[in-house]
Structure formats: structure tokens, C-alpha cells
Amino acid sequence: MIERQETKQRMSRIVKHNGTIYLCGQVCADATQGIKEQTQTMLDKVETLLEQAGSDKEHMLSATIYIKDMKDFAEMNEVWDNWVPAGHAPARACVEASMAREALLVEISVIAAEK
């Protein structure tokens, strides 16, 4: 069975299937902020969605991070490293990419297991 939450025309914020949770891409709460702040509020949103879906950071399987400019890579990683629980890092990819809005600096897509 596939369960979709907060479904709109283009996407669902959460999709659950066979104990796996897929989150749609998450961006920051305030795009006027710098990379560290954008990364932190983006990860806060991920954490909230994981909890809503019946999971948490320790159950992340995979994360794909899209960063507007690799010059921000080290600062983004500083926030990421403090957010991910020790010993629970997911498989991860990080790529430089154009963003849907000019002010966005980072976006993440997460796959996790249910608790």
C-alpha cells in the first residue's frame, strides 16, 4: 500500500511504501538568510516531516543535497555534521545545482525507514 500525505497537483510532501518514507525536496524557511541559516531551517523541516511520518534522523537511509554554489559546501557541511546523530549518517550525495528560486542556496531530498 502506498500512503501519500499533503498531496497537491505536483507532489506529495511525504510518501510511505513498505516501511520506507520518501520526503519531497525541502528548502529553508527564509531565503534571505545565508547558507548556514538556510541549511539549519531546511533540516528542521526535514526533522518535523520525519516525525510526522513516523521516523526520525536516526532512521535516514539516503539524503541528496543540492547546493547552489560549492563555495558554500564547507559551511553547509558544518551545519549538517552537527545535525546528523553520530553513527547514523545516511548514504549521501551533494551536487551543485540551479535552484527553483534565485535566493535559495540549498535543498535536500530524504529517504528514511519507519521506526
Domain boundaries, the chain: 2-113
Q: For the chain, how are helix, strand and coil distributed in percent, rounded to 5?
A: 30, 35, 35
**Burial class for 12, CB neighbours closer than 10 Å (0-12, 13-18, 19+):** middle
The structure's pTM equals 0.94
CATH of domain 2-113: 3.30.1330.40
Q: Which of 55, 49, 38, 54 is nearest to 104 (CA)?
A: 38
Task: Write out pLDDT tens, residues 31-49.
Answer: 999 999 999 999 999 999 9
Task: Write out pLDDT tens, residues 74-111.
Answer: 999 999 999 999 999 999 999 999 999 999 999 999 99
At 6 the pLDDT is: 95
Say how far apart CA 19 and CA 55 lie, in whole Å: 10
